[in-house]
Amino acid sequence: MLESKSNRIALYTSAFLIIILILFAMLRDSADPITLNNATDILENHKVKKVIVSKEYVYLKTDSELYKIASSQVTPKMFVDYEVEVQSGPSIIVYLLFLVLFLGIGSLIFRWFQRSNYSIGTKTEQNSAKSMLESSSVIESIKSDVSFGDIGGISDVKAELEEIIDFMKNPKRYKSFGARMPRGVLLVGPPGVGKTMIAKAVAHEAGVPFYYQSGASFVQIYVGMGAKRVHDLFTAAKNNSPAIIFIDEIDAVGKKRDGQRNDEREATLNQLLTEMDGFESSSGVIVVAATNKIDVLDSALLRAGRFDRRVFVELPTKKERESILSKYLSKIPNNVDLKILANMTVGFNGASLAALVNEAALLSIREQNFQVTLEHFHQVKDKVMFGKKKLQILSEKQKEYRITYQSGKVICATYFDLPFEKLMLSSEKLTPATDEPLIEHELESRVKMLLAGLVACDIKFKEHVSSAKDDLDEAKEIVHKMLKEYGMGATLISKNGEAEVLMSRLYEETRVFLSSMLLVMRQVENILYERESITKSAVRGLIDEVL
């Protein structure tokens, strides 16, 4: 049926074109233009058989040719001896014929399109999802050109991932020992610390294909498309194993399932969970994902057997900032003391350090200087801080308060053996919140750690800092749950004012404890001022010396 309609429209179109060509041949002016001298010669030689006069031209017809000359160049006296025909233009009948044919064939074409439009449109809609699915299946690896040598700092992260790289290079060594390769590595850290670069560096060092996908690319309109894209991604990686799959911003697709209906997102997440369960450790495929919101990820995604290893990428310390700045400044003429520059960039991540160096170089060029100086960095620091991204940058006085605040927290956390490995001066949270079951004294220890920063500043400066808000809010929440939900008050049903009593008691006990640790606190402060980080084992050693 569709073929018959196509033939019919082709016939109508052909007829229409033929008529147009005939009319064009009838109406077109085929006379050759001549000059006045040529016209005079033709007339004097009596070659002209007929003279036709129109509004613009005079046509001279001979036995075999037709010439024309502009009416403004000739006079009526020149044609006295010849038969003259006045031409009024094409007949109106010709125009009417053309109009009738045009409207007739046009109406036929319109009716054909009108009848077939619905069927064609429906077929197009049916094929649209199919074509989008087919296009989504084209997933190719990219060749990573980023090595660990290109990334400054992150020495702890490199050590964590070197084992993964060695596993991919020498799988037989681990298999013979009965060890299996981790299925997934989750990079956790704030924006701009270089999580994507780290994943690319792992692929480059291991010399394997690198499949990059953003978590948002799995979020599709049609149900099932995101799941199919996940399947295609893992299939491509398996067919080219060993390989690395990197999913950036995985929280876009891996958020907790809270019971609210979202068929497409849940289908995509379920497919991701299935794929990570489906391939064996011998497949040679590792999934590396990055997020700065680990607390919103679904618990099924975080369980063992999926993301076996979590690597926390923190903001760089002073020493790491020196390393990063050294790499960025290596190709720029400069006269800068890296130690001073690193000291003035507390709170900067790798991306903001790159922006800072670039802005300082641009300023130096604008001022037509031969090299970048520390003064250029002072001038552009505010631009990078507030113009590009608002970062928490500390003045010297603020840094002093932060050091004291964090010293109190890390001493308390170490003494009560709370779970953490290292304190970073730039980090707000020392230990992440947890929903695991805790005993009453463990909850009290956590509240004391959260209050320790306030207590330390109160002891040393006789005043508190506004940055304590998050810790104070968490402490209040824990105390509220202890009394209202866990029945850990004087009675199972808490009384009014009991929360204030409990909070005051824990605050005073923390104050007594830190007052006995003033020597340790000064030592921790000195280390933090110099290194901007301190390990739990180092603090433990200082406490043991006092005890």
If one compares 302 and 2, the residue with the highest pLDDT of the two is 302
Q: Taking Cα atoms as reference points, which of 145, 166, 139 lies closest to residue 230?
A: 139
pLDDT at residue 38 greater than cutoff 50: yes
The two tokens of residue 441 are 């004294």
Most confident residue range from 230-234, 296-300, 460-464: 460-464
Report, as an integer, the average pLDDT of 440-460.
93
Show the beta-strand stretches assigned E in 226-379.
243-248, 285-291, 309-312, 334-335, 372-373
HEC string for 305-341: CCCCEEEECCCCCHHHHHHHHHHHHCCCCEECCHHHH
Determine whether domain 396-546 maps to CATH 1.20.58.760.
yes
Whether residue 288 has pLDDT greater than 80: yes
Contacts of 413 (CB under 8 A, 6+ apart): 420, 423, 430, 431, 449, 452, 536
Percent of the chain with pLDDT over 90: 16
CATH assignment of 148-312, among 1.10.1580.10, 3.30.160.270, 3.40.50.300, 3.40.50.720: 3.40.50.300
What per-residue confidence (pLDDT) applies to 136? 44
Handedness of CA 348, 353, 355, 361 (dihedral sign): positive
Where are the chain's structural domains? 148-312, 318-388, 396-546
pLDDT per position as a tens digit, 208-258: 888 888 777 776 655 567 778 888 888 888 888 788 888 888 887 777 776
Confidence of residue 390 (pLDDT cuts 50, 70, 90): very low
Task: Give the rounded percent of residues in the chain with a pLDDT score beyond 70.
Answer: 75
In this prediction, residue 452 carries a pLDDT of 94
Architecture per CATH, domain 318-388, reads as Orthogonal Bundle (1.10)
Q: Mean pLDDT score of the chain, rounded to an integer? A: 77
Task: Give mean pLDDT, residues 426-451.
Answer: 81
Residue 289's pLDDT band (cuts 50, 70, 90)? confident
Distances (CA, A) of 277 to 188, 296, 304, 360: 22, 21, 11, 49
Q: Which residue is listed with tokens 């890296």?
A: 338
> Binning pLDDT at 50, 70 and 90, where does residue 503 land?
very high
What pLDDT score does 445 carry?
Answer: 93
Q: Smallest Cα–Cα separation from 239: which of 209, 205, 200, 276?
A: 209
Half-sphere exposure of 237 (CA within 13 A, CB side): 27
Query: Are the CB atoms for 350 and 153 separated by under 8 Å?
Result: yes
Residues 6+ apart with CB under 8 A from 247: 213, 214, 215, 253, 287, 288, 289, 290
Q: Does residue 542 surpass a pLDDT of 80?
A: yes
Instruction: Decide: 407 and 529 in contact? Cβ < 8 Å.
Output: no
The DSSP 8-state label assigned to residue 142 in this structure reads: B
Which pTM was predicted?
0.53
85-127 pLDDT, tens per residue?
666 555 555 556 666 666 666 666 666 656 655 444 545 544 5
pLDDT at residue 389, as a whole number: 41
- The pLDDT value given to residue 127: 53
